[in-house]
Amino acid sequence: MFMSISSRFAVGIHILSLIEFNKDGVSSSEYLAGSVNTNPALIRRILGMLKKAGLIEVRPGIAGSKLARSLSDITLLDVYKAVDVVQDNELFSVHDNPNPKCIVGKNIQDTIIPILSTAQLALEKVLGNVTIEDVVKDIVEKEERHS
Amino acid sequence: MFMSISSRFAVGIHILSLIEFNKDGVSSSEYLAGSVNTNPALIRRILGMLKKAGLIEVRPGIAGSKLARSLSDITLLDVYKAVDVVQDNELFSVHDNPNPKCIVGKNIQDTIIPILSTAQLALEKVLGNVTIEDVVKDIVEKEERHS
DNA sequence: TTACATGTAATCAATATAGTTACAAGTTTG
DNA sequence: CAAACTTGTAACTATATTGATTACATGTAA
Protein backbone atom coordinates (compact mmCIF):
# COMPACT_ATOMS: atom_id res chain seq x y z
CA MET A 1 0.00 0.00 0.00
CA PHE A 2 2.87 2.39 0.61
CA MET A 3 6.61 2.29 0.79
CA SER A 4 8.09 2.58 4.24
CA ILE A 5 11.53 3.47 5.50
CA SER A 6 13.99 0.77 4.53
CA SER A 7 14.63 -2.08 6.93
CA ARG A 8 18.35 -1.30 6.53
CA PHE A 9 17.78 0.84 9.61
CA ALA A 10 16.35 -1.99 11.69
CA VAL A 11 19.04 -4.33 10.40
CA GLY A 12 21.70 -1.78 11.33
CA ILE A 13 20.42 -1.72 14.90
CA HIS A 14 20.31 -5.51 14.93
CA ILE A 15 23.90 -5.75 13.69
CA LEU A 16 25.31 -3.29 16.23
CA SER A 17 23.49 -4.97 19.10
CA LEU A 18 24.70 -8.38 18.04
CA ILE A 19 28.30 -7.22 17.71
CA GLU A 20 28.01 -6.15 21.34
CA PHE A 21 26.49 -9.43 22.52
CA ASN A 22 29.18 -11.29 20.62
CA LYS A 23 32.00 -8.96 21.62
CA ASP A 24 34.22 -11.83 22.74
CA GLY A 25 33.64 -13.75 19.51
CA VAL A 26 34.09 -13.03 15.84
CA SER A 27 31.21 -11.20 14.19
CA SER A 28 31.77 -12.04 10.53
CA SER A 29 29.24 -11.01 7.94
CA GLU A 30 28.16 -14.63 7.72
CA TYR A 31 27.60 -14.83 11.46
CA LEU A 32 25.58 -11.61 11.48
CA ALA A 33 23.60 -12.73 8.45
CA GLY A 34 22.65 -15.89 10.30
CA SER A 35 20.96 -13.89 13.03
CA VAL A 36 19.34 -11.32 10.77
CA ASN A 37 18.37 -14.19 8.48
CA THR A 38 19.54 -12.78 5.21
CA ASN A 39 22.49 -12.76 2.85
CA PRO A 40 26.07 -12.00 3.99
CA ALA A 41 26.57 -9.65 1.05
CA LEU A 42 23.60 -7.57 2.16
CA ILE A 43 25.07 -7.41 5.64
CA ARG A 44 28.43 -6.35 4.26
CA ARG A 45 26.80 -3.51 2.39
CA ILE A 46 25.26 -2.25 5.60
CA LEU A 47 28.50 -2.83 7.52
CA GLY A 48 30.18 -0.62 4.93
CA MET A 49 27.73 2.16 5.69
CA LEU A 50 28.17 1.79 9.44
CA LYS A 51 31.92 1.84 8.97
CA LYS A 52 31.80 4.93 6.80
CA ALA A 53 29.83 6.64 9.56
CA GLY A 54 32.48 5.71 12.10
CA LEU A 55 30.27 3.38 14.10
CA ILE A 56 32.24 0.18 13.59
CA GLU A 57 35.66 -1.03 12.63
CA VAL A 58 36.04 -3.62 9.90
CA ARG A 59 39.01 -4.41 7.71
CA PRO A 60 39.19 -6.18 4.37
CA GLY A 61 40.27 -9.76 4.73
CA ILE A 62 40.03 -9.76 8.51
CA ALA A 63 37.00 -11.56 9.85
CA GLY A 64 34.72 -9.68 12.20
CA SER A 65 33.49 -6.22 13.06
CA LYS A 66 33.93 -4.29 16.30
CA LEU A 67 32.10 -1.28 17.64
CA ALA A 68 34.13 1.89 17.15
CA ARG A 69 32.45 3.76 20.00
CA SER A 70 31.05 2.93 23.38
CA LEU A 71 27.52 1.53 23.41
CA SER A 72 26.10 4.58 25.10
CA ASP A 73 27.63 6.83 22.48
CA ILE A 74 25.76 5.36 19.53
CA THR A 75 22.19 6.59 19.14
CA LEU A 76 19.57 5.19 16.82
CA LEU A 77 19.76 8.52 15.01
CA ASP A 78 23.42 7.80 14.25
CA VAL A 79 22.42 4.48 12.75
CA TYR A 80 19.51 6.00 10.84
CA LYS A 81 21.79 8.59 9.30
CA ALA A 82 24.51 6.04 8.65
CA VAL A 83 22.37 3.70 6.61
CA ASP A 84 20.97 6.47 4.46
CA VAL A 85 17.32 5.61 4.80
CA VAL A 86 16.18 9.22 4.66
CA GLN A 87 17.82 12.42 3.47
CA ASP A 88 17.79 15.59 5.54
CA ASN A 89 14.56 17.44 5.07
CA GLU A 90 13.32 14.98 2.49
CA LEU A 91 11.26 12.44 4.34
CA PHE A 92 8.21 13.96 2.70
CA SER A 93 8.14 14.56 -1.00
CA VAL A 94 6.48 17.69 -2.29
CA HIS A 95 5.12 18.00 -5.82
CA ASP A 96 7.24 20.31 -7.89
CA ASN A 97 6.21 22.90 -10.46
CA PRO A 98 2.95 24.01 -8.85
CA ASN A 99 1.41 26.81 -10.89
CA PRO A 100 3.03 30.13 -9.93
CA LYS A 101 0.08 32.05 -11.33
CA CYS A 102 -2.08 30.69 -8.52
CA ILE A 103 -1.66 32.09 -5.03
CA VAL A 104 -1.65 28.60 -3.58
CA GLY A 105 0.66 27.14 -6.21
CA LYS A 106 3.04 30.02 -5.77
CA ASN A 107 3.38 29.70 -2.00
CA ILE A 108 2.52 26.15 -1.04
CA GLN A 109 6.06 24.82 -1.06
CA ASP A 110 7.48 27.58 1.12
CA THR A 111 4.57 27.15 3.48
CA ILE A 112 4.59 23.41 4.00
CA ILE A 113 8.26 22.50 3.69
CA PRO A 114 9.15 24.01 7.11
CA ILE A 115 6.20 22.19 8.69
CA LEU A 116 7.18 18.87 7.17
CA SER A 117 10.75 19.47 8.23
CA THR A 118 9.64 20.09 11.80
CA ALA A 119 7.75 16.81 11.76
CA GLN A 120 10.76 14.95 10.45
CA LEU A 121 12.98 16.52 13.09
CA ALA A 122 10.55 15.49 15.82
CA LEU A 123 10.85 11.92 14.63
CA GLU A 124 14.62 12.12 14.50
CA LYS A 125 14.78 13.62 17.96
CA VAL A 126 13.14 10.51 19.38
CA LEU A 127 15.72 8.37 17.65
CA GLY A 128 18.49 10.57 19.00
CA ASN A 129 17.36 9.89 22.54
CA VAL A 130 17.74 6.14 22.34
CA THR A 131 21.16 4.49 22.34
CA ILE A 132 22.31 1.03 21.33
CA GLU A 133 22.99 0.55 25.02
CA ASP A 134 19.28 1.04 25.71
CA VAL A 135 18.44 -1.50 23.03
CA VAL A 136 20.93 -4.04 24.37
CA LYS A 137 19.63 -3.61 27.92
CA ASP A 138 16.07 -4.07 26.76
CA ILE A 139 16.97 -7.25 24.93
CA VAL A 140 18.64 -8.61 28.05
CA GLU A 141 15.57 -7.73 30.12
CA LYS A 142 13.19 -9.36 27.70
CA GLU A 143 15.34 -12.45 27.58
CA GLU A 144 15.43 -12.74 31.38
CA ARG A 145 11.69 -12.33 31.58
CA HIS A 146 11.14 -15.19 29.15
CA SER A 147 13.33 -17.67 30.98
CA MET B 1 18.61 7.50 -3.19
CA PHE B 2 15.60 6.52 -1.12
CA MET B 3 11.85 6.58 -1.38
CA SER B 4 10.10 9.30 0.56
CA ILE B 5 6.52 9.73 1.69
CA SER B 6 4.27 10.20 -1.33
CA SER B 7 3.56 13.69 -2.56
CA ARG B 8 -0.13 12.76 -2.39
CA PHE B 9 0.09 14.26 1.08
CA ALA B 10 1.46 17.60 -0.14
CA VAL B 11 -1.01 17.59 -3.01
CA GLY B 12 -3.85 16.92 -0.58
CA ILE B 13 -2.88 19.98 1.45
CA HIS B 14 -2.62 21.99 -1.74
CA ILE B 15 -6.08 20.91 -2.87
CA LEU B 16 -7.80 21.70 0.42
CA SER B 17 -6.14 25.11 0.64
CA LEU B 18 -7.11 25.93 -2.89
CA ILE B 19 -10.72 24.88 -2.37
CA GLU B 20 -10.78 27.41 0.44
CA PHE B 21 -9.21 30.22 -1.59
CA ASN B 22 -11.67 29.46 -4.37
CA LYS B 23 -14.66 28.95 -2.08
CA ASP B 24 -16.83 31.30 -4.12
CA GLY B 25 -15.91 29.61 -7.38
CA VAL B 26 -16.10 26.08 -8.74
CA SER B 27 -13.17 23.85 -7.82
CA SER B 28 -13.41 21.19 -10.49
CA SER B 29 -10.71 18.56 -10.77
CA GLU B 30 -9.48 20.33 -13.88
CA TYR B 31 -9.20 23.64 -12.04
CA LEU B 32 -7.33 22.05 -9.14
CA ALA B 33 -5.06 20.16 -11.51
CA GLY B 34 -4.13 23.44 -13.15
CA SER B 35 -2.78 24.78 -9.89
CA VAL B 36 -1.08 21.58 -8.78
CA ASN B 37 0.19 21.19 -12.32
CA THR B 38 -0.77 17.63 -12.93
CA ASN B 39 -3.53 15.48 -14.39
CA PRO B 40 -7.21 15.89 -13.43
CA ALA B 41 -7.55 12.13 -13.01
CA LEU B 42 -4.77 12.13 -10.45
CA ILE B 43 -6.52 14.92 -8.59
CA ARG B 44 -9.79 13.02 -8.68
CA ARG B 45 -8.10 10.01 -7.13
CA ILE B 46 -6.90 12.15 -4.26
CA LEU B 47 -10.26 13.91 -4.00
CA GLY B 48 -11.81 10.48 -3.61
CA MET B 49 -9.56 9.77 -0.64
CA LEU B 50 -10.28 13.13 0.95
CA LYS B 51 -13.98 12.51 0.44
CA LYS B 52 -13.82 9.05 1.94
CA ALA B 53 -12.15 10.60 5.00
CA GLY B 54 -14.96 13.10 5.32
CA LEU B 55 -12.83 16.14 4.58
CA ILE B 56 -14.62 17.30 1.45
CA GLU B 57 -17.92 16.96 -0.35
CA VAL B 58 -17.96 15.99 -4.01
CA ARG B 59 -20.70 14.43 -6.05
CA PRO B 60 -20.59 12.54 -9.31
CA GLY B 61 -21.54 14.69 -12.23
CA ILE B 62 -21.59 17.92 -10.22
CA ALA B 63 -18.60 20.13 -10.84
CA GLY B 64 -16.56 21.21 -7.85
CA SER B 65 -15.55 20.17 -4.35
CA LYS B 66 -16.33 21.88 -1.07
CA LEU B 67 -14.74 21.50 2.34
CA ALA B 68 -16.86 19.33 4.60
CA ARG B 69 -15.50 20.83 7.81
CA SER B 70 -14.34 24.20 8.97
CA LEU B 71 -10.78 25.13 8.10
CA SER B 72 -9.63 25.03 11.67
CA ASP B 73 -11.04 21.56 12.08
CA ILE B 74 -8.87 19.91 9.45
CA THR B 75 -5.34 19.10 10.57
CA LEU B 76 -2.50 18.01 8.38
CA LEU B 77 -2.68 14.72 10.24
CA ASP B 78 -6.22 14.28 8.96
CA VAL B 79 -4.94 14.79 5.43
CA TYR B 80 -1.95 12.52 5.97
CA LYS B 81 -4.22 9.74 7.17
CA ALA B 82 -6.76 10.39 4.44
CA VAL B 83 -4.36 10.01 1.56
CA ASP B 84 -2.90 6.79 2.90
CA VAL B 85 0.74 7.70 2.66
CA VAL B 86 1.71 5.74 5.75
CA GLN B 87 0.05 2.97 7.73
CA ASP B 88 -0.29 3.08 11.50
CA ASN B 89 2.88 1.88 13.12
CA GLU B 90 4.47 1.05 9.78
CA LEU B 91 6.47 4.08 8.79
CA PHE B 92 9.58 2.02 9.50
CA SER B 93 9.91 -1.43 8.09
CA VAL B 94 11.51 -4.08 10.22
CA HIS B 95 13.13 -7.18 8.76
CA ASP B 96 11.06 -10.26 9.48
CA ASN B 97 12.17 -13.75 10.40
CA PRO B 98 15.21 -12.84 12.46
CA ASN B 99 16.78 -15.98 13.88
CA PRO B 100 14.92 -16.98 17.08
CA LYS B 101 17.90 -19.06 18.22
CA CYS B 102 19.89 -15.88 18.71
CA ILE B 103 19.13 -13.67 21.70
CA VAL B 104 19.18 -10.59 19.48
CA GLY B 105 17.17 -12.16 16.66
CA LYS B 106 14.63 -13.41 19.15
CA ASN B 107 14.00 -10.06 20.82
CA ILE B 108 14.96 -7.33 18.39
CA GLN B 109 11.49 -6.80 16.96
CA ASP B 110 9.77 -6.46 20.31
CA THR B 111 12.50 -4.09 21.41
CA ILE B 112 12.62 -1.70 18.51
CA ILE B 113 9.04 -1.64 17.27
CA PRO B 114 7.81 0.44 20.25
CA ILE B 115 10.70 2.87 19.77
CA LEU B 116 10.01 3.27 16.08
CA SER B 117 6.34 3.68 16.83
CA THR B 118 7.12 6.44 19.32
CA ALA B 119 9.17 8.23 16.68
CA GLN B 120 6.37 7.92 14.15
CA LEU B 121 3.86 9.25 16.67
CA ALA B 122 6.10 12.24 17.40
CA LEU B 123 6.06 13.07 13.71
CA GLU B 124 2.32 12.66 13.51
CA LYS B 125 1.79 14.82 16.56
CA VAL B 126 3.45 17.73 14.78
CA LEU B 127 1.13 17.24 11.83
CA GLY B 128 -1.83 17.09 14.18
CA ASN B 129 -0.98 20.49 15.56
CA VAL B 130 -1.17 22.29 12.23
CA THR B 131 -4.49 22.99 10.54
CA ILE B 132 -5.41 23.91 6.99
CA GLU B 133 -6.38 27.26 8.46
CA ASP B 134 -2.75 27.76 9.53
CA VAL B 135 -1.59 26.86 6.04
CA VAL B 136 -4.07 29.22 4.39
CA LYS B 137 -3.09 32.06 6.71
CA ASP B 138 0.57 31.50 6.03
CA ILE B 139 -0.02 31.57 2.27
CA VAL B 140 -1.90 34.86 2.63
CA GLU B 141 0.94 36.29 4.70
CA LYS B 142 3.59 35.22 2.26
CA GLU B 143 1.59 36.65 -0.61
CA GLU B 144 1.20 40.02 1.11
CA ARG B 145 4.89 40.14 1.88
CA HIS B 146 5.74 39.61 -1.78
CA SER B 147 3.52 42.37 -3.11
C1' DT C 1 49.63 -21.24 -1.67
C1' DT C 2 45.45 -22.44 0.12
C1' DA C 3 41.53 -21.02 2.54
C1' DC C 4 38.68 -17.63 3.94
C1' DA C 5 36.83 -12.69 4.66
C1' DT C 6 35.68 -8.22 3.16
C1' DG C 7 34.22 -4.80 -0.49
C1' DT C 8 31.45 -3.90 -4.26
C1' DA C 9 29.37 -4.15 -8.80
C1' DA C 10 25.73 -6.21 -11.36
C1' DT C 11 21.49 -8.39 -11.79
C1' DC C 12 16.57 -9.68 -10.64
C1' DA C 13 11.76 -9.95 -8.91
C1' DA C 14 8.47 -7.47 -6.55
C1' DT C 15 6.30 -3.27 -5.62
C1' DA C 16 5.16 1.92 -5.15
C1' DT C 17 4.84 6.33 -7.46
C1' DA C 18 3.23 9.63 -10.67
C1' DG C 19 1.33 10.28 -14.93
C1' DT C 20 -1.91 9.16 -18.46
C1' DT C 21 -5.77 7.25 -21.27
C1' DA C 22 -10.22 5.59 -21.45
C1' DC C 23 -14.73 5.17 -20.30
C1' DA C 24 -18.93 4.31 -17.40
C1' DA C 25 -22.17 6.85 -14.72
C1' DG C 26 -24.29 11.05 -13.04
C1' DT C 27 -25.99 16.00 -13.86
C1' DT C 28 -27.22 20.11 -16.12
C1' DT C 29 -28.46 22.91 -20.14
C1' DG C 30 -30.37 23.97 -24.24
C1' DC D 1 -34.51 14.17 -25.02
C1' DA D 2 -29.82 15.04 -26.38
C1' DA D 3 -25.52 17.24 -26.01
C1' DA D 4 -21.96 18.74 -23.08
C1' DC D 5 -19.62 18.33 -19.11
C1' DT D 6 -18.09 16.22 -14.62
C1' DT D 7 -16.93 12.75 -11.37
C1' DG D 8 -15.33 8.00 -10.35
C1' DT D 9 -12.34 4.29 -11.60
C1' DA D 10 -9.92 0.79 -13.88
C1' DA D 11 -6.01 -0.16 -16.54
C1' DC D 12 -1.57 0.68 -18.22
C1' DT D 13 3.21 2.79 -18.48
C1' DA D 14 7.74 4.50 -17.17
C1' DT D 15 10.64 5.10 -13.45
C1' DA D 16 12.70 4.05 -9.12
C1' DT D 17 13.58 1.65 -4.67
C1' DT D 18 13.88 -2.44 -1.99
C1' DG D 19 15.76 -6.75 -0.65
C1' DA D 20 18.01 -10.73 -2.26
C1' DT D 21 21.50 -12.92 -4.74
C1' DT D 22 25.59 -13.99 -7.63
C1' DA D 23 30.12 -13.08 -8.80
C1' DC D 24 34.53 -11.70 -8.20
C1' DA D 25 38.46 -8.64 -7.06
C1' DT D 26 41.14 -7.54 -3.07
C1' DG D 27 43.11 -8.37 1.35
C1' DT D 28 44.76 -11.51 5.36
C1' DA D 29 46.46 -15.40 7.71
C1' DA D 30 47.62 -20.24 8.53
Beta carbons of B2 and A84 less than 8 Å apart: yes
Chain B residues within an 8 Å CB radius of A39: none
Closest residue by Cα to residue B147 from A104, A114, A103, A98: A103
Output the tens digit of pLDDT for each of chain A's 147 residues. Answer: 677 999 999 999 999 999 999 999 999 999 999 999 999 999 999 999 999 999 999 999 999 999 999 999 999 999 999 998 898 889 999 999 999 999 999 999 999 999 999 999 999 999 999 999 999 999 999 999 877
CB pairs < 8 Å spanning A and B: 184
Is the CB of residue A127 less than 8 Å away from at least one CB of chain B?
Answer: yes
Q: Where are the domains of chain A?
A: 8-145
Spatial CA neighbour of A10 closest among B87, B110, B83: B110
pLDDT digits (tens, 9 = 90+) for B88-124: 889 999 999 999 999 999 999 999 999 999 999 999 9
Kindly state the helix (H) or strand (E) to which residue A134 belongs, with its residue range. Answer: helix A132-145
Q: Which of B36, B87, B94 sits opposite A7 (nearest CB)?
A: B94
Q: Does domain B8-145 have CATH number 1.10.10.10?
A: yes
| CA pair distance B24, A15, nearest whole angstrom | 58
- Asked if residue B67 lies in contact with residue B19, where contact means CB atoms within 8 angstroms, the answer is yes
Residues B92, A9 contacting (CB under 8 angstroms): yes
